[in-house]
Structure 1
Amino acid sequence: MTISPNKKIYFASDQHFGAPTPELSFPREQKFVAWLDEVKKDAECIFLLGDLFDFWFEYKTVVPKGFVRVLGKLAEIRDSGIPIYFFVGNHDLWMNDYFQKELNIPVYHDNQEYEFNGKTFLIGHGDGKGPGDKGYKRMKKVFTSPFSKWLYRWLHPDLGMKLAQYLSVKNKLISGDADVKFLGEEKEWLVQYSKRKLETKHYNYLVFGHRHLPMVITVGENAQYVNLGDWIGYFTYGVFDGEKFELKEY
């Protein structure tokens, strides 16, 4: 893709709307909608890298209540012709085709590769990647199996949502949330994952969410690992203007 003159590509991740309660989450939702309103003015496209919601499950005819302002703004932006790409995170990994059908937003369940103005990108949420984190990786296999999803659908939505919200907050093994302190390059598993990916193919930018820590780390020659941070404590986002990638705070 060639970025049009005076246009930019925007990236954001880990909003976790609905946490810890809908009432406390609401100001963050308003702030994110304001950001979307601002970036739509010069956006070539927008990448959302997962955990937009603290929990999301699509029953056959039911989706979680709430988030109308965010969903409406995404629909407005997409209807205006600006592409939006959504990557499933560990808190919304049960997303299916609702975004595709209702908002015309494609949903990806794993990393995707892109090229913008000659710069190569590897983009994904980042959960379950790299060495370690074996407990979460096992849990993810269980939770993403067709049988688990079929079984969960038999729960009444009110019960299913309440159970999921409890687990999201209380059980860090299930949620996959890591310690939000910087661990150092050798212990940051997404840094190690990025370096390993570069052994087989070069990317200029490897962009992920999940860690909730905004950081840009050089991982190879003309190659940077970028973590987008979050919209809970940092309110950070990425922007690529066709030449360079920057992290900014809203």
Structure 2
Amino acid sequence: MQIPEGKKIYFASDNHLGAPTKEASRPREKKFVAWLDEIKHDAAAIFLVGDLFDFWFEYKTVVPKGFTRTLGKLAEISDSGIPIYYFVGNHDLWMNGYFEEELNIPVYHKPQEFTFNNTSFFIGHGDGLGPGDKGYKRMKKVFTNKFCKWLFRWLHPDIGVKLAQYLSVENKMISGDEDAKFLGEDNEWLVHYCKRKESQKHRDYYVFGHRHLPLEIPIETNAKYINLGDWIIYFTYGVFDGNSFELKTYE
């Protein structure tokens, strides 16, 4: 994609709308929608890099209640011709066609490579990548198993959603607590992952979410790992203007 003059590519992740409750997250949702409303005027494309919702499961005829402001704004932007790309995170693994059919937004379940103005990007949510985190990797296999998803679908949504919300709030990554601390590059699994990928093929930027920390870390001389932070504590987002990438804070 060639970015038109005066246009930009925008990136955001980890809103966790609905946590700890829909009512408590509504101010954050309104702030995010205000941001979307501002950037639509010069956006060439928008990347939502996972965990927009704290829980999302698509039944055959039902999706979770709420998030009307966000879904409406995404529909408006998509209908205007601005492409939006969505990467599932560890809290919204169970997307299965709703965004594609209703919003014309492609959904990716694995990292993807894009090129803008001859600048290469490797983009994904980031969960389960790199060394370590073996417990989550085992659980992810359960969460994405077709039979397990079929069993969960038989739970009434009132029960299934409430159960998922309870388990999610117990996860300290949501609150930005002790898990979301920078403990040095050697302890950042996504840094290790990016270095391994860079050794196989050069990309200019590796853009991920999941860690809830706004980070910019050089991988090699001409490559950089970017973590987008979150919309819980930091309200950070990424901007690529065709020449350089910058992390910004939405006030």
Checking the alignment, whether the CA contact within 8 Å between 2:99 and 2:105 is kept in structure 1 is yes
Corresponding residue SS for 2:226 = strand
In structure 2, how many angstroms separate the alpha carbons of the residues matched to 1:95 and 1:63? Answer: 10
Checking the alignment, whether the CA contact within 8 Å between 1:178 and 1:211 is kept in structure 2 is no
What is the letter of the counterpart of residue 239 of structure 1?
Answer: V
In structure 1, how many angstroms separate the alpha carbons of the residues matched to 2:75 and 2:170? Answer: 32
Seq. identity, %: 74
Query: In structure 2, what is the equivalent of residue 182 of structure 1?
Result: 182
Corresponding residue SS for 1:192 = helix
CA drift at 1:167: 1.0
Query: In structure 1, what is the equivalent of residue 220 of structure 2?
Result: 220
CA drift at 1:172: 6.1
Query: In structure 2, what is the equivalent of residue 50 of structure 1?
Result: 50
C-alpha distance after superposition, 1:179-211 (max 9, x if no partner): 100010011000111001001000000000000
Query: In structure 2, what is the equivalent of residue 8 of structure 1?
Result: 8
In structure 2, how many angstroms separate the alpha carbons of the residues matched to 1:121 and 1:178? Answer: 30
Corresponding residue SS for 2:200 = coil
1:70 has 2:70 as partner: yes
CA drift at 1:170: 1.8
What is the letter of the counterpart of residue 137 of structure 1?
Answer: K
Query: In structure 1, what is the equivalent of residue 59 of structure 2?
Result: 59
Query: In structure 2, what is the equivalent of residue 244 of structure 1?
Result: 244
Query: In structure 2, what is the equivalent of residue 104 of structure 1?
Result: 104
CA drift at 1:83: 0.1
Corresponding residue SS for 1:53 = coil
What is the letter of the counterpart of residue 245 of structure 2?
Answer: F
Corresponding residue SS for 1:248 = strand
C-alpha distance after superposition, 1:94-151 (max 9, x if no partner): 1110000000000000000001001100000000000000000000001101001000
What is the letter of the counterpart of residue 104 of structure 1?
Answer: N
CA drift at 1:169: 1.4
CA drift at 1:178: 7.8
Q: From the superposition, tell whether residues 45 and 196 of structure 1 become closer, same or farther in structure 2 (CA, over 3 Å).
A: same
Query: In structure 1, what is the equivalent of residue 207 of structure 2?
Result: 207
What is the RMSD computed on CA atoms of the aligned residues?
Answer: 1.2
In structure 2, how many angstroms separate the alpha carbons of the residues matched to 1:183 and 1:45? Answer: 33
Q: TM-score, structure 1 length as denominator?
A: 0.97
In structure 2, how many angstroms separate the alpha carbons of the residues matched to 1:53 and 1:46? Answer: 17
Query: In structure 1, what is the equivalent of residue 154 of structure 2?
Result: 154
Checking the alignment, whether the CA contact within 8 Å between 2:172 and 2:179 is kept in structure 1 is no
Corresponding residue SS for 2:162 = helix
Corresponding residue SS for 1:37 = helix
Show structure 1 runs of 4+ deviating over 6 A. none
CA drift at 1:171: 4.8
In structure 2, how many angstroms separate the alpha carbons of the residues matched to 1:178 and 1:59? Answer: 34
CA drift at 1:213: 0.1
In structure 1, how many angstroms separate the alpha carbons of the residues matched to 2:240 and 2:178? Answer: 27
In structure 1, how many angstroms separate the alpha carbons of the residues matched to 2:212 and 2:128? Answer: 15
CA drift at 1:221: 1.9
Q: From the superposition, tell whether residues 33 and 135 of structure 1 become closer, same or farther in structure 2 (CA, over 3 Å).
A: same
Corresponding residue SS for 1:199 = helix
Query: In structure 1, what is the equivalent of residue 191 of structure 2?
Result: 191
What is the letter of the counterpart of residue 6 of structure 2?
Answer: N
